[in-house]
């Protein structure tokens, strides 16, 4: 692949700016769009996954083609949210760092309109704005687009989805008919054809990858919960089993976003909420803390998260499944960017499995089921994560040497093993105490899923007399959980579909109920297998 330099298409000022930003090779969407826009005035529809460099794809050609001698606005970029508006403006300013005579203005609601009006009194070549504020300034006769050469609709489908149809109609009516219109989106939603038919003329479609397909750098997983009462506890366990998590939790409503954020903060997590009720100042404060990793993660609605440009997000957690696969693509695209890998997590109930399977078909991705971690698994993961951090820590010897003699004196009564235990307990006592005697959140009884993983179903067709109670010689001290016991039964019955009744895990033993017709098969099968190297002994409990 050729570098930007080797293309010979962009001027030296732009090359200098993007090389300073670390851009050497164009992304697939940039590779297709930039040469096209520098050689053609045709309208385009460009579809590419979130995080693949769409802003540079349209921004670099726009900057190169600006006539700095003209004192009118030559390009208008419309986007759905303040955050995306700020992001695009920031990127364009970086791209034009050495093209100092190019003036770029961002116009969005929530900011001081008088300051924006003052900025428009100066020569402005590129305007980036949200529909509502653009309309406001047009009505005040402070903004004129009669000589616009290029219109960019970034995430235009989302603008329609957010109810900006009338504003878009009104703005585009003010533009010259002889212009180039560019429509950029991460997904081919039902709105794209409507927009293209209404606002574009005979557009060329440029697609990288497959339509509505998420990034290959994102792994899609899901956890099944028995009922909504266990959803928040499951969320906490997902967070706790990933000590280095840095991500976004998506909720469908502002109310739920606030509630989840407040609950997490109350439980000691470094979190804040991002929703439509925040002022611009509050929003920017939250985003700056998140970008600087002073927050572990955000709890956000889809609308509020539009345009987020934050690197190294490890996880996206769908606390609620979105209604449409296009929204899911946008969410999951916040991770797995710029060559990094990421994980998109869904927390669902059984009744939502059908929706998840539809997402799999539309996205062309497999969603892997993960079991909700147990308290013991979480404590172990956190403890060893802490140990690894200790191994990698770099000590400032100059500072520590001043205190070391006194520390040694105070701790000289403890041997190495005792010190390790005490330091570990100080760090992890809150985990240990919280998860002590915690229940297994995984539902035990399932039906067979479409991916053909065999799971069990509690049924009302069987009466209690139809079950046998069996006694097993291992229990919680042997690290046996309800789910682990089910896996042992799976091995013993060799994929026969049976029904399981009550399970009780005791300290040194376990009791469970199975259909009588499978009793002998389980007795024989389980006597031939082991658990953590320990042979199993099973008998009928009267």
**495 domain residue, yes or no:** yes
Written in H, E and C, the secondary structure of 46-99 is EECCCCCCHHHHHHHHHHHHCCCCCCCCCEEEECCCHHHHHHHHHHHHHHCCCC
Domain that holds residue 531: 464-540
How sure is the predictor about 214, in pLDDT bands with cuts at 50, 70 and 90? low
- Claim to verify: residue 28 and residue 42 sit in the same structural domain: yes
Query: If we measure between CA atoms, which residue out of 501, 508, 509 comes closest to residue 538?
Result: 509
Residue that is last in its domain, among 333, 350, 372:
372
Residue that is last in its domain, among 372, 391, 414:
372
- Claim to verify: residue 243 and residue 344 sit in the same structural domain: yes
Residue that is last in its domain, among 329, 353, 372:
372
- Claim to verify: residue 47 and residue 93 sit in the same structural domain: yes
Given a contact cutoff of 8 angstroms between Cβ atoms, the answer to whether 309 and 288 are in contact is no
List the CATH number of the domain containing 34. Answer: 3.40.50.300
- Claim to verify: residue 364 and residue 381 sit in the same structural domain: no
| Distance set, CA 492 to CA 242, 498, 511 (Å) | 33, 11, 16
**79 domain residue, yes or no:** yes
Comparing 104 with 121, the larger pLDDT belongs to 104
User: For 116-209, where are the E strands, in sequence order?
Assistant: 126-129, 150-154, 180-185, 204-207
Mean pLDDT check: name the lowest of 72-76, 196-200, 301-305.
Answer: 301-305
- Claim to verify: residue 14 and residue 29 sit in the same structural domain: yes
- Claim to verify: residue 469 and residue 386 sit in the same structural domain: no
pLDDT tens column, 351-373: 898 889 888 888 888 898 888 98
pLDDT of 496: 57
- Claim to verify: residue 267 and residue 290 sit in the same structural domain: yes
- Claim to verify: residue 530 and residue 485 sit in the same structural domain: yes
DSSP state of 210: S
- Claim to verify: residue 366 and residue 381 sit in the same structural domain: no
pTM of the model: 0.61
pLDDT tens column, 400-428: 999 999 999 999 889 889 988 888 888 77
**458 domain residue, yes or no:** no
The number of domains in the chain is 4
**226 domain residue, yes or no:** yes
Average pLDDT estimate for 75-90: 89
Mean pLDDT of the chain: 85
pLDDT of 241: 93
DSSP state of 536: P
- Claim to verify: residue 132 and residue 38 sit in the same structural domain: yes
**445 domain residue, yes or no:** no
**326 domain residue, yes or no:** yes
| Distance set, CA 7 to CA 14, 31, 39, 48 (Å) | 13, 10, 13, 21
**442 domain residue, yes or no:** no
Given a contact cutoff of 8 angstroms between Cβ atoms, the answer to whether 48 and 208 are in contact is yes
pLDDT tens column, 270-284: 999 988 778 778 888
pLDDT of 460: 38
List the CATH number of the domain containing 480. Answer: 3.30.70.330
Average pLDDT estimate for 38-59: 88
Separation of alpha carbons 202 and 45, rounded Å: 10
How sure is the predictor about 459, in pLDDT bands with cuts at 50, 70 and 90? very low
For the chain, the distance separating the N- and C-terminal CA atoms, rounded to the nearest angstrom, is 73
- Claim to verify: residue 347 and residue 383 sit in the same structural domain: no
**444 domain residue, yes or no:** no
- Claim to verify: residue 488 and residue 426 sit in the same structural domain: no
How sure is the predictor about 96, in pLDDT bands with cuts at 50, 70 and 90? very high
């Amino acid at each position: 692949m050729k570098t930007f330099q080797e293309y010979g298409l962009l001027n030296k000022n732009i090359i200098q700016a993007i090389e300073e930003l670390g851009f050497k090779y164009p992304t697939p969407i940039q590779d297709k769009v930039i040469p096209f826009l520098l050689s053609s005035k045709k309208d385009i529809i460009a579809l590419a996954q979130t995080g693949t460099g769409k802003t540079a794809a349209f921004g670099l050609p726009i900057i190169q083609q600006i006539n700095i001698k003209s004192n009118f606005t030559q390009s208008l970029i419309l986007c759905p949210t303040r955050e995306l508006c700020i992001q695009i403006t920031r990127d364009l300013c970086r791209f034009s760092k050495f093209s100092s005579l190019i003036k770029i203005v961002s116009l969005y609601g929530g900011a001081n309109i008088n300051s924006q009006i003052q900025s428009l009194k100066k020569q402005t070549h590129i305007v980036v704005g949200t529909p509502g504020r653009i309309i406001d300034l047009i009505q005040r006769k402070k903004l004129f687009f009669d000589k616009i050469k290029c219109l960019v609709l970034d995430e235009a489908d989302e603008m329609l989805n957010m109810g900006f149809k009338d504003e878009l109609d009104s703005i585009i009516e003010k533009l010259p008919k002889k212009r180039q219109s560019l429509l950029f989106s991460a997904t081919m939603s039902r709105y794209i054809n409507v927009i293209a038919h209404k606002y574009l003329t005979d557009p060329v479609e440029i697609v990288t990858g497959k339509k509505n397909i998420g990034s290959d750098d994102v792994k899609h997983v899901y956890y099944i919960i028995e009922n909504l009462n266990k959803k928040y506890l499951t969320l906490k366990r997902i967070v706790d089993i990933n000590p280095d998590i840095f991500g976004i939790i998506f909720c469908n409503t502002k109310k739920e976003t606030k509630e989840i954020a407040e609950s997490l903060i109350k439980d000691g997590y470094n979190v804040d909420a991002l929703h439509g009720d925040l002022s611009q100042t509050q929003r920017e404060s939250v985003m700056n803390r998140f970008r600087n990793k002073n927050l572990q993660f955000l709890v956000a609605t889809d609308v509020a998260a539009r345009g987020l440009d934050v690197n190294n997000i490890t996880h996206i957690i769908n606390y609620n499944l979105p209604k449409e696969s296009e929204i899911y693509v946008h969410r999951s695209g916040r991770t797995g960017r710029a060559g990094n890998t990421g994980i998109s997590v869904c927390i669902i109930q059984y009744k939502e499995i059908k929706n998840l399977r539809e997402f799999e078909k539309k996205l062309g991705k497999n969603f892997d089921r993960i079991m909700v971690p147990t308290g013991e698994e979480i404590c172990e993961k956190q403890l060893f994560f802490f140990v690894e951090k200790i191994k990698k820590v770099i000590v400032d010897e100059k500072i520590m040497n001043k205190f070391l003699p006194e520390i040694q004196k105070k701790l000289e009564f403890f041997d190495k093993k005792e010190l390790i235990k005490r330091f570990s307990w100080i760090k992890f006592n809150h985990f240990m105490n919280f998860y002590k005697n915690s229940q297994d959140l995984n539902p035990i009884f399932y039906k067979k899923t479409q991916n053909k993983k065999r799971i069990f179903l509690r049924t009302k067709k069987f009466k209690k007399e139809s079950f046998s109670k069996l006694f097993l010689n291992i229990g919680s001290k042997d690290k046996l959980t309800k789910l682990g016991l089910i896996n042992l039964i799976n091995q013993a019955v060799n994929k026969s579909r049976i029904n399981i009744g009550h399970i009780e895990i005791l300290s040194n033993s376990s009791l469970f109920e199975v259909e009588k017709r499978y009793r002998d098969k389980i007795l024989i099968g389980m006597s031939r297998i082991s658990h953590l190297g320990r042979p199993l002994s099973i008998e009928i409990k009267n």
